[in-house]
């Protein structure tokens, strides 16, 4: 039976793919759980539209993140945290802190794309990345002591 996957299913396929599976598996497991639907002509048209919309959304998100990274690279984000005399932070800088610092400057960073490679536990400049669709945009944040 041909079905359209509505979610990624392990060892079967990815979202919006059209796959052929045994009838019993489709009728007893995939369709009742909402993981798939029958590959009728109406459903195929709807899924093609959803696939195109999904791709357009990813493309616009990619352009948006590229713009955000370029804007932050012009003037790095400054995050003020408590630190000791040696420059070690009492509390590490996390993704939420970076998002909050960007929001103070009027920049909206979606936190699901933000990646901090190393734990930020010292004062100074650090590299942070935005990752989407295999693309990586890095920018600098400046951690200072209060």
In this structure, what CATH number is given to the domain that contains residue 38?
A: 3.40.5.10
Whether residue 27 is found in the same domain as residue 88:
no
Range of the domain at 67: 60-145
Whether residue 77 is found in the same domain as residue 41:
no
Whether residue 25 is found in the same domain as residue 68:
no
* β partners of residue 24: none
Whether residue 15 is found in the same domain as residue 84:
no
Whether residue 38 is found in the same domain as residue 89:
no
- Return per-residue pLDDT of the chain as tens, 146 residues: 999 999 999 999 998 899 999 999 999 999 999 999 999 999 999 989 988 998 898 888 888 888 888 888 888 889 999 999 888 888 889 999 999 999 998 888 888 888 888 888 899 999 998 888 788 888 889 999 88
State the pTM of this model: 0.64
Rounded to whole angstroms, the Cα distance separating 54 from 62 reads 12
Residue 37 is predicted with a pLDDT of 94
Whether residue 67 is found in the same domain as residue 136:
yes
Residue 34 is predicted with a pLDDT of 93
Count: domains in the chain? 2
């Amino acid at each position: 039976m041909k079905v359209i996957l509505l979610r990624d299913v392990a060892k079967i396929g990815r979202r919006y793919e059209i796959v052929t599976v045994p009838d019993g598996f489709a009728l007893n497991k995939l369709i009742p759980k909402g993981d798939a639907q029958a590959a009728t002509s109406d459903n195929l048209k709807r899924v093609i539209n959803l696939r195109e919309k999904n791709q357009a959304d990813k493309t616009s998100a990619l352009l948006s993140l590229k713009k955000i990274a370029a804007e932050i690279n012009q003037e790095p984000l400054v995050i003020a945290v408590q630190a000791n005399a040696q420059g070690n932070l009492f509390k590490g800088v996390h993704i939420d802190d970076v998002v909050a610092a960007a929001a103070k400057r009027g920049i909206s960073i979606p936190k699901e794309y933000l990646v901090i490679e190393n734990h930020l536990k010292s004062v100074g400049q650090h590299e942070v990345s935005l990752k989407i669709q295999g693309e990586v945009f890095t920018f600098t944040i400046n951690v200072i002591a209060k």
